[in-house]
């Protein structure tokens, strides 16, 4: 079953460059097609997965702000830490 936490973790993995955009999009498309979504959060999960599934289309893309908003809808906040390159 796909949960808020799982969707959030995929976005976090993407932001940390652990997975590529293509992997995020493929995962979101498969998750949406399989339809095994947590019933308690069905609307936010469908909307989030649909948005992520379009992220590889040039017109739609996926901006930092959109990731931040998507994570907020899933119940997460982003904290950024910047340090000098070594």
What single DSSP character describes residue 78? Answer: -
Q: Is 27 helix (H, G, I), strand (E, B) or coil?
A: helix
pLDDT tens, N- to C-terminus, the chain (86 residues): 999 999 999 999 999 999 999 999 999 999 999 989 999 999 999 999 999 998 888 777 789 999 999 999 999 999 988 889 88
60 to 47, 51, 56, 57: CA distances (angstroms): 14, 9, 7, 5
* Domain residue extents for the chain: 4-73
Contact indicator for 24, 53 with CB cutoff of 8 Å: no
Whether this prediction's pTM lies above 0.85 is answered by yes
How far apart (Å, rounded) are the C-alpha atoms in residues 80 and 23?
A: 23
């Amino acid at each position: 079953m796909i949960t808020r936490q799982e969707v959030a973790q995929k976005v976090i993995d993407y932001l940390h460059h652990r997975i590529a955009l293509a992997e995020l999009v493929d995962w979101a498309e498969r998750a949406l097609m399989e339809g095994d979504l947590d019933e308690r959060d069905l609307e936010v999960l469908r909307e989030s997965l649909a948005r992520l599934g379009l992220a590889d289309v040039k017109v739609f893309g996926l901006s930092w702000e959109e990731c931040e908003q998507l994570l907020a809808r899933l119940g997460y906040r982003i904290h950024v830490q910047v340090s000098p390159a070594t």
